[in-house]
Amino acid sequence: MTEDPELIAAAILLPKFRTSWTKDDATIRMGVDYIKQHMEAPSLQLGDATSSSDEEDFFSALQAPQAQDSSKELDGYLAISADHMDSLKSFPAVCKLSVKLNMLLPASAACERLFSIAGLVFSPRRARLHSHNFENQLLLKMNSKFYSFK
């Protein structure tokens, strides 16, 4: 995990973890650099697309602070001490990237298979299983093809 900047950025963008999960400054720097590269600056509505070079110079000066705003927004996010997900709402660009990096796919074949097998393990006759025993039995059931219990 520590080599993939996308995974590092995903961990940094979770308010519960931010930078507390590692002491390695290079790892944190890699994640923050990834976030800065992929954060979308708020878009400005710029009227007419056909403009002279003087107007382009004026508008390019307006677009430069957006990158600084995104960087300030990231610094503000990293500086706050709140660890709940609602704290992301005050940083829209950070929130958007956090949702993008930390979103789980709603369904997949592996997930469907896991729930199907879990339904077989957790039957009405086994309703009083402790969660630890249930997890162990599910693990054994899923990996039974790798073991020979003879």
- Same domain as 96, residue 33: yes
How far is 131 from 44, CA to CA, in rounded Å? 52
- The model's pLDDT over 58-101, given as tens digits with 9 standing for 90+, comes to 666 555 555 668 889 999 999 998 889 899 999 999 999 999 99
DSSP class of residue 103 equals P
| Contact assessment for residue 28 and residue 6, using Cβ atoms and an 8 Å cutoff | no
Tokens found for residue 6: 């996308």
- The model's pLDDT over 130-139, given as tens digits with 9 standing for 90+, comes to 989 999 998 8
- Report the domain count for the chain: 2
Angle between helices 53-79 and 92-102 (to 10 degrees): 70
- Quote the pTM value: 0.56
- Same domain as 19, residue 53: yes
Domain that holds residue 79: 5-102
Tokens found for residue 144: 């039974």
